[in-house]
Amino acid sequence: MKNRILAIIALALSAASLCTAQAPNMPRFHFKNFTTADGLPDNHVYAVLVDGNRIWAGTDNGLGLYENGKWRVYNTQDGLAHRAVLSLALDKRTGDLWAGTMGGLSRVSADRIDSFTQLNSGLSNNIVYGLSIYGDELWVATAAGGCKMNLDSGQWALYNERNTPMNEIWVYGVNATPTKVYYAVWGSGILEYDQKTQKWDKYDDPDGETEIVLFKDQGLIHEIVTSVSYVDGILWAATYFGDSRYDGRYWHNFLTKDSGLPSNFTNTLKGIDANHCWFGTDKGLAYYDGVNWAVYRPGLKDRKPEMYVRDASGVITNITVDSAPAHNYILGIDFQGDDIWVATAEGLSHGIRQP
């Protein structure tokens, strides 16, 4: 009997080793975290943007620029529209940095800051949640609809419930591409603008605004959309009740109960291509490779660095790591080569890709 028990234990240990050995090969990082002690303007970081070797951080107390190992801070005394910087975008033609704040829109150009508000421009609202630039057009998401600024002529166009299918006007995010522009609307799903036809379309949750998913994969997971990313013909959408992927014909929704999402409450996402996407949730950073998931975070209870992988069959494997993002509440994501930068509620994190 004793030998049989030992054999069962040995078999279990062997299976566990096999599971570990066969865990999907997911990216690993060493995270270096920045706080106010390092020169970051504030530990609450809403947005991060990579500009070559320069890193911009939008925080609750100013705009930070990390360059050559040092931080420089821009605030209202420098001309910034408001100290709370919610969103960032880079004009690659000119190198200008655009910052959406709680009090207007600011442009940083060769250390000069010019600000645009409802009073001196065509900005829809001074609370600017999202920015996206394609070509000579700056698309803006605000608390009172969307708008667009032609960066060459300075002309504005406004988008709200009067000229789009928008039901609510609280616009949380925007993504402009050569063919489509997508607005993430709080309580009104996703608005799609066709650059060629200049016509609008709308994607809704077939369940309405209920938190219960009645029709799985029949449409957008929820009406409260926080972030959109359109890449390689695929639309990725983040909501506070799960996430969605749309290929133009079929929807696929992700929930914690049937995927590797650490939480359905998703603040932001960033698609890499048709099958790969990063998700910023309130319980950690997640990566999806089209089949498998990886989660990176400080432990929810002990805050010890944690990484785990979930394969297609649902098997979860813990990976030993020495670091994690500064906090599990993720608000912004950007990439620098193979590295990742993450804006969190308690600092900015630089994930350095490991071999």
> For the segment 299-342, what is each residue's pLDDT rounded down to a tens digit?
999 999 999 999 999 999 999 999 999 999 999 999 999 999 99
Q: Which residue has the higher pLDDT, 10 or 295?
A: 295
Res. 209 pLDDT band, cuts 50 70 90: low
pLDDT at 236 over 60: yes
Task: State the pLDDT at residue 188.
Answer: 92
> For the segment 140-168, what is each residue's pLDDT rounded down to a tens digit?
999 999 999 999 999 999 999 999 999 99
pLDDT at 18 over 80: no
Task: State the pLDDT at residue 10.
Answer: 42
- Which of 261, 288, 260, 286 is CA-nearest to residue 273? 288
In this prediction, residues 279-299 reach a mean pLDDT of: 98
Tokens 């060493």 belong to: 30
For 14, phi and psi rounded to 5 degrees? -65, -40
In this prediction, residues 63-79 reach a mean pLDDT of: 97
Among 2.130.10.10, 3.20.20.70, 1.10.10.10, 2.40.50.100, what is the CATH number of 31-353?
2.130.10.10
Task: State the pLDDT at residue 328.
Answer: 97
pLDDT at 6 over 70: no
Radius of gyration of the chain (CA): 21
* Cβ atoms 326, 340 nearer than 8 A: no
pTM: 0.92
- Non-local (6+) Cβ contacts of 82 within 8 A are 76, 101, 102, 103, 104, 126
Task: State the pLDDT at residue 218.
Answer: 87
Res. 229 pLDDT band, cuts 50 70 90: very high
Res. 208 pLDDT band, cuts 50 70 90: confident
- Mean pLDDT, the chain, integer: 93
> For the segment 81-138, what is each residue's pLDDT rounded down to a tens digit?
999 999 999 999 999 999 999 999 999 999 899 999 999 999 999 999 999 999 999 9
* Cβ atoms 157, 151 nearer than 8 A: no
Task: State the pLDDT at residue 14.
Answer: 39
* Cβ atoms 147, 174 nearer than 8 A: no
* Cβ atoms 149, 100 nearer than 8 A: no
Res. 22 pLDDT band, cuts 50 70 90: low
Hey, which residues does 139 pair with through a beta bridge?
132, 148
Res. 251 pLDDT band, cuts 50 70 90: very high
Task: State the pLDDT at residue 23.
Answer: 76
pLDDT at 275 over 90: yes
pLDDT at 15 over 60: no
Domain ranges of the chain: 31-353
pLDDT at 220 over 90: yes
